[in-house]
Structure 1
Amino acid sequence: MKQILLVEDDLTYSRIVKTFLEKNGYAVQTCVKVKDAQQILNTNSFDLIIADFRLPDGTGMELLQWSKSKFPQTQVILITHYSDIRIAIKAMKLGAFEYITKPINPDELLATVKESLSAKASDGPKQTSSPKTEESSVAKSSYVIGSSAEAEKLEKHIQLVAPTDLSVLVLGETGTGKEFVSRRIHDLSTRKDGPFIAIDCGALPKELAGSELFGHVKGAFTGALDHKTGHFESAHGGTIFLDEIGNLSYEVQIQLLRAIQERTIRKIGGNKEIQIDVRIIAATNDNLILQSGDGHFREDLYHRLNEFTLQAIPLRRRKEDLEDFAQQFLDESNSRLNKSVKGFSSEVWEIFLAYDWPGNLRELRNIIKRAVLLTSGVLVEKDALPTDLYEPTAAGIGSQGGYSSSLSAGGDLPSPKDYKSKWVEQEKELIQKVLNDTKFNKSKTARILNMDRKTLYSKMEKYGLD
């Protein structure tokens, strides 16, 4: 029986989810704090962690990072409010298997749990990270060129650089499909018959990054019970994609620079030089020039990686391509969920076209997958979408369930002093209103207002809302 640790501070909600999962054949243990979860994980083995993002003593993100460094084989699903979408996407980059949004749909939760555990089973017991190779989720047929002017320009540059052996740096916001771009370069290169190995540098445990990339010999360090082949050696004759390159430690950056310059690697604890023939494509949403200026990223490594630069395009700037991407993700979701949804209603298209897509392609893919799961008819309808897509939160305090600040959208801008005074008054009124509506249920109030309980208590004391 698969073991699940559920970390949720809303006890009623936790009990409902626990009962539901147990009825579906899983063993579930619960706790309410990050510290409690860490203690439990240190003494028990779990296949999956399901954690709320907002917890009394920290966040699900902190637990995710800690668990991935200690127990990389344990999958993590993060629970968020939809307004936490940017945080959820960052969590995916740090190694979370998936995120689901509140209120949770039982079918969506169950499907995500099954998928995460299935993925864990296929990883194998000894693998400490999950490089994506030819069977990657970024399959050859998944790339959508698009018809917008910017998309055509990007494709032209890809076709220009692909046949060369130049190192490529792909820049762009989180979720813009940098791995799709990198895979496209590989597929159009002379290395297309060789391996394509994608590594998320942000998800590599810091102390094991060198071993994962370059391998180690038996006995090189505590826990090195056998020889290990690193990703660079595995990518020989092909392409290695280093996503979130800015997350590598300075020591590993030195090793990487040496590998690029000399075309050789040396395993951790070894003394033998191993020849490698690998093309490097790196990606980041960080400003590596600024990082090199403050000493966090080597400038010489930056110039070695940046022989040619490509810019992945945010979805909000390529709305002409939205239909192509939506159809691709619809077909993918139908296949994964064994559904036969044919398309989207006109109302859904209006919502898609009006939305800003802060999470870019990754957000679109997740929304479509969720919508397909919830759709029983031929077309995806509006009620299968998260309400935040068509009822956006107002500026200021995030809104949930219809609560929002009432800052005027027009008129002259107030002075900084007037603005601060008006904002404080509106914040006080909003907190008071939500407290009244929830009958002073502070846990529920904090969730509605998108703030942790410590912050809520502090503001209640500040405003005298007892």
Structure 2
Amino acid sequence: MHDTSETPIIIVDDEPHMRFTTGQTLELAGYRPLPIASAEEALANLDADFAGVVVSDIRMPGMDGMALLREIHGRDPDLPVILITGHGDVSTAVTAMRDGAWDFLEKPFAGDQLVEVVRRGVETRRLALENRHLRAELEAQQSAPGPRLVGRTESIARLATMVSRISQVEADVLLFGETGAGKDLIARAIHERSRRSGAPFVAINCGAVPESIIESELFGHEKGAFTGAVERRIGKFEHAQGGTVFLDEIESMPMSLQVRLLRVLQERAVERLGSNNAIELDIRVIAATKIDLKAAAEAGQFREDLYYRLNVVTLPIPPLRERREDIPLLFQHFAVVAATRSGQEAPPLDSAGVAALLAHDWPGNVRELRNLAERYVLIGGAWDYRLDALMNDSDGSSGELALSRQVEMFEKSLIDQALTRCRGRINEVCERLGVPRKTLYDKFKKYELRPEVYRHREDDAASDGK
């Protein structure tokens, strides 16, 4: 349930007593009425981010309500316009709905009827603006170099900082994280932000390639090097010349090949199978693992010298359950991506949906969340866009959190969203959430939120895009 206090509602009517009574009803319901006598004046009070709805009489001198509706939707088709019709004027109401009116009220109407129609309109507007802002943010990020690291938690902020720094140096990198945590995305982000971005990014899953051919895949071979080698083959390392090689599931690499990999890393040269000529390499190697390689080395399951050679720079990638406050933002991001790709609209995410996302344990991490967001866009309508039903139908297992923890995460998510929309302005956050300043500062301390970070976030984003 979102706080409606200070949500502006434009009331357009040429009769003063109607403006007064309608405004009084909405003010008692917690809204901020803006009574206006003409359609022309109403248009002057609208902007692209107007957060409320418009309630307008149809019959007015000059520009009437129907003309106002068409003008508003010419500017912003997502802005709900509620029209007030005369008693028994059914044909006008039908025309209004056909022309895009969000709803209509027939005089005389009850105050609770007005409040309910406005409440639904305000919620629709809020979700439309959130979707619009997210889509704009996505488009802006797509113009920036490299894949986007989505999240506001401290752990993801640290990771983004490290990715930016590492991309500017030539060190090999070891990524450590659970399955689905986003190791491939981080590898691509490092590559795309580096001077090597114009050269190939070559990825190979060491656990998916049969051991019988992985040596040829990595290092290449000459014609006749072995039975079946009917022509020369360029290996992954040589193909990545000038760019980046990403070795996923490095722990699955056969021990015999680990020796050759160590030599490639040390000498920056490769020999094709069946050749004695070394080919110099200009590459960066990024390896990824989901296990503790140091423990594997100590157990004799991974070469210790290769581990220490790879361990120059290690980036741990946090699992999704350790940054739960990022889950709603990530989900919306993936939903907008899926909707854009499929030419559909991303369905809005309501409070119940956020609660369902936060309650899940996400064993498949970001990959599982992305798959759910895509399902939500493509087939969520079959479940009336109820995330709990859609999640129960999926193969993922559900984890349970204590109610108090779910409430805390939801509360932090709401405060984070308010800080983002208000760009860290405390007074506006207090008004939006309907809480006293002292209570809000107590919440900041509890959840380790710093308003000044949100004030500078837009400037930082702009500078990153340069």
TM-score normalised by length of structure 2: 0.52
Q: 1:391 offset after TM fit, Å?
A: 11
How far the C-alpha of 1:211 sits from its partner, in A, is 0.6
Assess, with a 3 A threshold, how the Cα gap between structure 1 residues 379 and 240 changes in structure 2: closer, same or farther.
farther
Please show how residues 109-188 of structure 1 align to structure 2 within 5 Å: 142-188=147-193
Mapping of residues 231-380 of structure 1, within 5 Å: 231-376=236-381, 380=385
For 1:153 and 1:237, the matched residues in 2 are separated by 28
Residue type of the alignment partner of 1:349: V
- What runs of 5+ residues in structure 2 fail to find an aligned partner? 1-143, 401-466
The alpha-carbon deviation at position 346 of structure 1 amounts to 2.5
Segments of 5+ residues of structure 1 without an aligned counterpart are 1-138, 396-466
The structure carrying a bigger helix percent of its residues is 2
Give matches, 1:26-175, under 5 Å.
Answer: 142-175=147-180
Residues 151 and 329 of structure 2 are in contact (CA less than 8 Å); yes or no, is this contact kept in structure 1?
yes
Between stretches 283-292 and 139-148, larger displacement belongs to 139-148
Deviations along 1:129-165, one digit per CA (max 9) or x if unpaired, are: xxxxxxxxxx966422421011111112222222111
Superposed CA deviations along residues 389-430 of structure 1, whole A, max 9, x for unmatched, are 8996799xxxxxxxxxxxxxxxxxxxxxxxxxxxxxxxxxxx
> What whole-Å deviation, never above 9, does each CA across 1:355-398 have from its counterpart, x for those lacking one?
11111001111112222221349983236513168996799xxx
**Shift in Å, 1:236:** 0.8
Deviations 1:61-111 (A, max 9, x none): xxxxxxxxxxxxxxxxxxxxxxxxxxxxxxxxxxxxxxxxxxxxxxxxxxx
| Distance in 2 (alpha carbons) for counterparts of 1:243 and 1:229 | 20
Q: Distance in 1 between matches of 2:217 and 2:230?
A: 14
Deviation string, structure 1 residues 193-244 (Cα, Å, up to 9, x no partner): 2221121111111111111111111222222222111110111111111111
Which of residues 169, 188, 201 is equivalent to 1:196?
201
Residue aligned with 1:373, SS: helix
Structure 1 vs Structure 2 CA RMSD = 2.6
Structure 1 residues 376 and 140, CA gap change in structure 2 (3 angstroms): farther
* Alpha carbons 2:383, 2:390 under 8 Å: kept: no
* Matched residue type, 1:306: N
Counterpart of 1:282 in structure 2: which amino acid? A
Question: Which one-letter code corresponds to 2:212 in the other structure?
Answer: E
| Counterparts of 2:312 and 2:305, CA distance in 1 | 12
Distance 1:394 1:316 in 2: 10
User: In structure 2, do the counterparts of structure 1 residues 319 and 254 end up closer, same or farther at CA, with 3 Å as the change threshold?
Assistant: same
> AA paired with 2:328?
E
Which whole-Å deviations, capped at 9, do the CAs of 1:7-29 have from their partners, x for residues lacking one? xxxxxxxxxxxxxxxxxxxxxxx
Amino acid at match of 1:328: H
User: Max radius of gyration: which structure?
Assistant: 2
State the distance in 2 between where 1:177 and 1:296 align.
25
Q: % of aligned pairs identical?
A: 42
Q: How many residues are paired up?
A: 257
Distance 1:140 1:179, change over 3 A: farther
The answer on whether the counterparts of 2:220 and 2:235 sit within 8 Å (CA) in structure 1 is: yes
CA distance in 2, matches of 1:246, 1:280: 15
- TM-score under structure 1 length normalisation: 0.52
